[in-house]
């Protein structure tokens, strides 16, 4: 029933090692069906190389298994919390990629220092707060999703304009309109984090990118009059303006 | 007689270069038989690519060769000392992977800064003391094993909850329930060390992970009620609780 | 009509990922015909692996499409500005390679610290100024090309003796007598930037290379009496002397 | 006539890119015949992938071409100076590998911080002085060899106990009993330099390895009673003791 979604999600997960985003089995990608009733996600602790579409687990938005023999990723409740609160997104990617994790564990946002950052994230990559002992005990994974959503609500952030976050003490989550786009944003986040880290080693407070260049770069790729790539990207209805 | 053990150990050694854990022939993996009478280990100075199961040397716990034409790794007495004192372990891996070696040579433990560390090591990765001139002269390799065991005894550490160590001035040793798991812990240690190093470059004393999150992460993977992966991991009989 | 040029440009673009110069689709290479009437360039947002010669877009020096079904790179006006002002060059390469981007975003030139740098760049790798809000609004891409040309004019720099530049807040552009040489100079620039970065981490103001060694190295490869490689490289008519 | 030597030297050069030691064509390996009358070396500016044994150039110790259609590496006079003064060596390798070049350009020796260093270099990796303007003008390449030899003579160093050097402002040269061993020492030097660099970033003056451990490690691999590897390595007649 969910063959195409499962194939897309399997393929998105299998790409993670070649993209240098995962160590061992530290990462997982999911995608949601068009009617938003079914989420396909990587099974827990299974290696990427051997992952076949039939290994992918399908759950509903409450976490009930709809299809699949294996246990879903332990991070499934985090993914589901994101799908429930961010109706614009179609895929979620969680990794522990090195540089994004360094910023997560240092509990620092990543300022926008250049145009590659601006191409993907309008402004700093945000950071969540730390979970409380009670939140960890009562539902570690679902509450991880909730503090991400809280960070976006409090900060007035649009999930498609800022398609990722750093969870304090943990690591990055990214998302996009599809599982594949979630992975691409994980790649972009890791490279942006790497470049920022290398800059911060030489200077503790580098100049951030001029706001008018940030906005120009983001909008030529994602704004209502986008002209990057082969298709109009302004499929978001012109809502994805970057107000840095 | 030891065909399956030798095949496992050959395969575990052959994986080291692709995992980025070794330079030249700087590393070796061993495994012990279920009855703990035979240890299979890499031959000394042989390259990983050409390693066949029949090249693996089998010795008993005193170091006597039981099978094999080649000389065993010069580090064999270290491996044997670990098997004699840590009856829970089934495999040992020694490398000079870059970041773990940096901490070993700086003679620093690796604090637990995040969840990937907590997934594999309950608390800091410990460091041994330096060998004395007499210990080097009387038995460099066996005494390397002894100071590792000493570090765990003095620190009250459980080798399956803390499956690795840094030898001062030298490099890391990791272990696990099998040769394969020893290698996986070497991969985890190297990535954990890399992330910690990158954090310490930006901040000399970063905040460590909250103890309640450390414990949660370790126990969801290794505790009595573990729910990570496809099998119950609590095969250690519930002894592997993480008291950080 | 432009089959050979398109094949060369496709091949030069396809090499970028294997050379470690690009993330996602962050980079593009172009080449100009011998009569300087046609510029072949990568289409926008297309992945490198799948790039075929027939995907390459050909434009004239004003940007009018001469051949090709796809939209050209959004950076095309920058490439064209360089071809119009630098008649010696036959290829242009733009990437966001990590270390060159770090220097671009830190808005620092790269001093000549050693012989590999001297082999490719006679003196520091120059840095442009930042575009003004008006320049961004009126023509971001063409004005990026103009501030590169301005930097070379103001500094009295010869584009073949200094075959690359860092655009402030953005990233590197390199060039050469062909698309392939432009890519080779991008490789050299990235490695030179990496080495310089690693030096600057340990010492804030390292000694630069002695001028007489800089000149010797550059001229044995590019000067009128060059003796590096299998052909006389002094095809530039002896104008490429390095006055450091 | 020199078929076997040329095959060995071609193979040693072809290994450089896979070992991560070279960028573009920045590196070369040579080997000398047993009667020390013929040196086989890489042709200048030729890429490694396409290198065939018949491309290798053979010269005598004065640099006269004995065999080969191509021009030899521009660094040939440096290699020859080393063969003339170091009769123990059979192969020379020159690269601009990243971390060894960082130390060369910073004009710093690499202290012995750990056992992997001690396995290959008995004590610090030495650094040459800078060439004078006259030396550059009168014979840049041959004088590069001469200042290496000078450094070993002045320091009382044994080229087989310390099989490499950093040329100030330039990069590393390594050697060994064969072309292959020269390349292995280049690999070891690069990794040793990388580990040292990472240590120096965190601490400006880390503790060096205890002399008695340094000596133990070097001698178990290279001393008269070596027991590392499958053959007695003490083929140097017991002269290779490490006096750190």
Confidence band for D88, pLDDT divided at 50, 70 and 90:
very high
Measured CA to CA, the distance from residue C190 to residue C96 in angstroms comes to: 10
Q: Measured between alpha carbons, how far apart are the two ends of chain A, in Å?
A: 42
Residue B169 has its nearest CB partner, among D184, D210, D229, at D210
By the 10 Å C-beta count (0-12 exposed, 13-18 middle, 19+ buried), D153 is classed as exposed
Residue B238 has pLDDT above 50, yes or no: no
Confidence band for B240, pLDDT divided at 50, 70 and 90:
low
Closest CA to C29 of C190, C178, C143: C178
| B45/D32: higher pLDDT | D32
Residues B104 and B164 sit within 8 Å (Cβ to Cβ): no
Measured CA to CA, the distance from residue B201 to residue B224 in angstroms comes to: 37
- D186 part of contact set with chain B, CB < 8 Å: no
Find tokens 């006389």 and name the residue.
Answer: C232
Measured CA to CA, the distance from residue C218 to residue C228 in angstroms comes to: 10
Q: Which of C34, C75, C140, C228 is catalytic?
A: C228
- B169 part of contact set with chain D, CB < 8 Å: yes
B: neighbours with 3+ CB pairs under 8 Å?
Answer: A, D
- D17 part of contact set with chain C, CB < 8 Å: no
pLDDT in tens, A196-242: 999 999 999 999 999 999 999 988 888 888 888 887 544 444 456 67
pLDDT in tens, C120-143: 999 999 999 999 999 999 999 999
Question: What single string gives the DSSP state of each residue in chain C?
Answer: --HHHHHHHHHHHHHHHHTT--STT-EEEEEE-TTSS-EEEPBTT--STT--GGG-EEE-TT--EEE-SSPB-TTHHHHHHHHHH-TT--EEEEE--HHHHHHHHHT--B---SHHHHHH-SSPBPB--PPPHHHHHHHHHHHHHHHHHHHHHHHT--TTTS-EEEETTTEEEEEESSHHHHHHHHHHHHHHHHHHHHHHHH-SSPPPPPHHHHHHHHHHHHSTT--SSSS--GGGTT------
Please count the other Cβ atoms lying within 10 Å of the Cβ belonging to residue D165.
27
Distance from CA of C219 to the nearest CA of A (A): 32
- B225 part of contact set with chain D, CB < 8 Å: no
Q: Which of B35, B55, B75, B119 is catalytic?
A: B119
- For chain D, helix, strand, coil in percent to 5 are 45, 15, 45
> Closest-CA residue in chain A for B114?
A169
Cα radius of gyration (chain D): 17
Measured CA to CA, the distance from residue C203 to residue C222 in angstroms comes to: 31
Three-class SS of residue D125?
strand
pLDDT at position A162, please? 96
Residues A219 and A118 sit within 8 Å (Cβ to Cβ): no
pLDDT at position A244, please? 54
- D55 part of contact set with chain B, CB < 8 Å: no
- D156 part of contact set with chain B, CB < 8 Å: no
Task: Indicate the range of A62-66, C31-35, C225-229 predicted with least confidence.
Answer: C225-229
Residue C99 has pLDDT above 90, yes or no: yes
Confidence band for A163, pLDDT divided at 50, 70 and 90:
very high
In chain C, residues with a C-beta closer than 8 Å to the C-beta of A18 are: none
β-sheet bridge partners, residue D65? D59
Closest CA to C159 of C92, C230, C61: C92
Nearest 10 degrees: Cα torsion A100, A105, A109, A111: -50
Query: Tokens at residue A138, please?
Result: 């009562």
Interface of C with A in 71-100 (CB under 8 A): 71, 74, 96, 98-99
Find tokens 């320049």 and name the residue.
Answer: C135
Distances (CA, A) of A144 to B8, B120, B225: 39, 20, 20
Using the beta-carbon criterion (under 8 Å), do A184 and C43 form an inter-chain contact? no
Q: Measured between alpha carbons, how far apart are the two ends of chain D, in Å?
A: 42
Distance from CA of A27 to the nearest CA of B (A): 11
Phi and psi angles of residue B176, each rounded to the nearest 5 degrees, phi first: -175, -170
Residue D93 has pLDDT above 70, yes or no: yes
Q: Which of A34, A35, A48, A119 is catalytic?
A: A119
Closest CA to D37 of D74, D6, D83, D93: D83
β-sheet bridge partners, residue A28? A94
Confidence band for C233, pLDDT divided at 50, 70 and 90:
very low
How open is the CA angle C26-C27-C32, to the nearest 5 degrees? 155
pLDDT at position D50, please? 87
β-sheet bridge partners, residue A32? A39
Using the beta-carbon criterion (under 8 Å), do D106 and C201 form an inter-chain contact? no
Which residue ranges form the domains of chain C, and what is each CATH number? 3-226 (3.40.225.10)
Interface of A with C in 116-155 (CB under 8 A): 116, 119
pLDDT in tens, B94-153: 999 999 999 999 999 999 999 999 999 999 999 999 999 999 999 999 999 999 999 999
pLDDT at position C240, please? 61
Q: Active site includes A83?
A: no
Task: Indicate the range of A34-48, A96-110, A218-232, D119-133 predicted with least confidence.
Answer: A218-232
Using the beta-carbon criterion (under 8 Å), do D116 and B136 form an inter-chain contact? no
Residue A170 has its nearest CB partner, among B115, B212, B230, at B115
By the 10 Å C-beta count (0-12 exposed, 13-18 middle, 19+ buried), D191 is classed as buried
Q: Between C and D, how many CB-CB pairs are < 8 A?
A: 81
Average pLDDT, chain A: 94
Please count the other Cβ atoms lying within 10 Å of the Cβ belonging to residue B158.
18
Confidence band for A243, pLDDT divided at 50, 70 and 90:
low
Mean pLDDT of A98-116: 98
In chain B, residues with a C-beta closer than 8 Å to the C-beta of D212 are: 133, 136-137
- D115 part of contact set with chain C, CB < 8 Å: no
pLDDT at position C151, please? 98
Sheet holding C65-67, edge to edge: C65-67, C57-59, C39-41, C27-32, C91-95, C171-176, C164-167
- B44 part of contact set with chain D, CB < 8 Å: yes
By the 10 Å C-beta count (0-12 exposed, 13-18 middle, 19+ buried), C105 is classed as buried
> Closest-CA residue in chain C for D133?
C212
In chain D, residues with a C-beta closer than 8 Å to the C-beta of B200 are: 202
Task: Indicate the range of C75-79, D25-29, D176-180, D218-222 predicted with least confidence.
Answer: D218-222
Question: What single string gives the DSSP state of each residue in B7-60?
Answer: HHHHHHHHHHHHTT--STT-EEEEEE-TTSS-EEEPBTT--STT--GGG-EEE-
Residue D170 has its nearest CB partner, among C114, C206, C227, at C114
Confidence band for C90, pLDDT divided at 50, 70 and 90:
very high
Query: Tokens at residue A163, please?
Result: 């398609």
Using the beta-carbon criterion (under 8 Å), do A98 and B201 form an inter-chain contact? no
C: neighbours with 3+ CB pairs under 8 Å?
Answer: A, D
Residue C201 has its nearest CB partner, among D24, D137, D201, at D201
- Determine how β-strand D172-176 pairs with β-strand D164-166: antiparallel
Residue B113 has its nearest CB partner, among A24, A105, A130, at A105
Residues of D annotated as catalytic are 119, 228
Residues B6 and B27 sit within 8 Å (Cβ to Cβ): no
Measured CA to CA, the distance from residue A28 to residue A186 in angstroms comes to: 11
Using the beta-carbon criterion (under 8 Å), do C201 and A203 form an inter-chain contact? no
User: What's the half-sphere exposure (Cβ side, CA atoms, 13 Å) at D234?
Assistant: 13
Residue A144 has pLDDT above 80, yes or no: yes
> Closest-CA residue in chain A for B203?
A106
Using the beta-carbon criterion (under 8 Å), do B115 and A197 form an inter-chain contact? no
pLDDT at position A238, please? 44
Distance from CA of A224 to the nearest CA of B (A): 38
pLDDT at position C238, please? 43
pLDDT at position C121, please? 96
Length of chain C in residues, anyone?
A: 244
Distances (CA, A) of C143 to C29, C45, C130, D25: 18, 21, 10, 35
pLDDT in tens, C155-179: 999 999 999 999 999 999 999 999 9
pLDDT at position D238, please? 43
Measured CA to CA, the distance from residue B171 to residue B22 in angstroms comes to: 12
Cα radius of gyration (chain C): 17
Distance from CA of C228 to the nearest CA of A (A): 34
Residue A119 has pLDDT above 90, yes or no: yes
Mutate to test the interface with B, among A20, A95, A169 (most CBs of B within 10 A): A169
In chain A, residues with a C-beta closer than 8 Å to the C-beta of B216 are: 136-137, 140
> Closest-CA residue in chain B for D114?
B169
Using the beta-carbon criterion (under 8 Å), do A198 and C99 form an inter-chain contact? yes
Chain centroid to Cα D126, Å, comes to: 12
Distance from CA of A213 to the nearest CA of C (A): 7
pLDDT in tens, C13-71: 999 999 999 999 999 999 999 999 999 999 999 999 989 999 999 999 999 999 999 99
């Amino acid at each position: 029933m969910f063959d195409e979604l499962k194939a897309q999600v399997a393929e998105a997960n299998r790409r993670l090692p070649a993209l240098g985003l995962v160590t061992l089995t530290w990462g997982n990608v999911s995608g949601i069906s068009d009617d938003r009733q079914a989420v396909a996600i990587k099974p827990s602790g299974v290696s990427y190389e051997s992952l076949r579409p039939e290994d992918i687990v399908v759950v509903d938005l409450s976490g009930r298994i709809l299809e699949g023999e294996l246990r879903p990723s332990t991070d499934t409740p985090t993914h589901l919390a994101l799908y429930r609160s961010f109706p614009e997104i179609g895929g979620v990617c969680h990794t522990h990629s090195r540089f994004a994790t360094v910023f997560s564990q240092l509990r620092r946002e990543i300022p926008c220092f250049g145009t590659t950052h601006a191409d993907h994230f309008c402004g700093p990559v945000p950071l969540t707060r730390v979970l409380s002992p009670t939140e960890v005990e009562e539902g570690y994974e679902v509450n991880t999703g909730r503090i991400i959503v809280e960070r976006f609500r409090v900060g007035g952030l649009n999930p498609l304009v800022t398609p990722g976050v750093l969870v304090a003490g943990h690591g990055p989550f990214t998302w996009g309109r599809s599982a594949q786009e979630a992975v691409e944003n994980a790649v972009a986040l890791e490279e942006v984090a790497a470049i920022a880290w290398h800059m911060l080693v030489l200077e503790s407070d580098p100049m951030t990118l001029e706001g008018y260049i940030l906005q120009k770069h983001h909008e030529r790729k994602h704004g209502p009059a986008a002209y990057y790539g082969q298709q109009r990207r302004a499929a978001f209805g012109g809502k994805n303006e970057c107000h840095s």
